[in-house]
Amino acid sequence: MKITRRDFCEGSAKLALAAALLGSPLLGAGPAFAQKADEAVLSKPDPLGEMVLGDAKAPVTIIEYASMTCSHCAHFSTTTMPELKKRYIDTGKVRYMLREFPLDPLAAAGFMLARCASKDDVTKYYAMVDTLFADQANWAFVDKPLGPLLKISKQAGLGEKDFNACLANQSMLDKIEDIRKTAAEKLGVNATPTFFINGDKHSGDISIDDMAKLIEPYLKAK
């Protein structure tokens, strides 16, 4: 995968819209049965650096693979995630990580901008991710996404020069592709969002009630 300005202006938004509306097999619509992941692969650190929320000693670890242009991921981010954070992450019960699984060049660009705008600050990273998901309809599914993306980036403190440099960072893009490829080939990720809860794989947009049912048994077994 290689991102260019032409991708943004002419191709990526159309790819993102097609994936969202035509039911791409990479888009999850609901929870799937659990599968156990290869722990050695799953525990290998993200080459860009893990963005971790919660207590390092939390009894439950949730790793989410998502795409910035996935409508199901956006719905999870805006509906389930705030309550998940309130109930489980902020209370020390869950450690959470988001990993990149872009479905198209535009999704990769969103992740790159979140990384660049945050400068490895976890709070700023998730603030940018939350904004991109909440405003997804205004940048992911338009003919010319660069303008809206630049506006969001400026609000996060990323100027136009840095914006352009970020999107031209091939090394970062290569690492994102490594993350996606490893997840697809070695962890069986074929839907977004996909969650690994203490190593058990669950795919789809999971409600907070269903998420609680998956988390609570681990807490009771503590």
The predicted structure's pLDDT at residue 45 = 84
Question: What's the burial of 116, exposed, middle or buried (CB within 10 Å: 0-12/13-18/19+)?
Answer: buried
Q: Which residues contact 29 (CB under 8 A, 6 or more apart)?
A: 72, 204, 205
pLDDT tens-place string over residues 119-143: 989 999 999 999 999 999 999 999 8
d(CA 43, CA 59): 15
Q: Which domain holds residue 178?
A: 5-220
Q: What is the pTM of this model?
A: 0.87
Cα distances (angstroms) measured from residue 85 to each of 47, 118, 149, 151, 180: 25, 19, 26, 27, 25
> Which residue, 185, 208, 203, is CA-closest to 84?
208
pLDDT-derived band at 6 (thresholds 50, 70, 90) equals: low
pLDDT tens-place string over residues 25-53: 443 333 444 567 778 889 888 899 999 99
Neighbours of 118 (CB within 10 A): 20
pLDDT tens-place string over residues 81-130: 999 999 999 999 999 999 999 999 899 999 999 999 999 899 999 999 99
Question: Which tops the pLDDT comparison, 152 or 143?
Answer: 152
d(CA 115, CA 137): 21
For residue 14, pLDDT beyond 70: no
pLDDT-derived band at 158 (thresholds 50, 70, 90) equals: very high
The predicted structure's pLDDT at residue 189 = 93
Domain of 43, CATH number, reads: 3.40.30.10
Domain count of the fold of the chain: 1
d(CA 202, CA 46): 20
Strands (E), 113-169: none
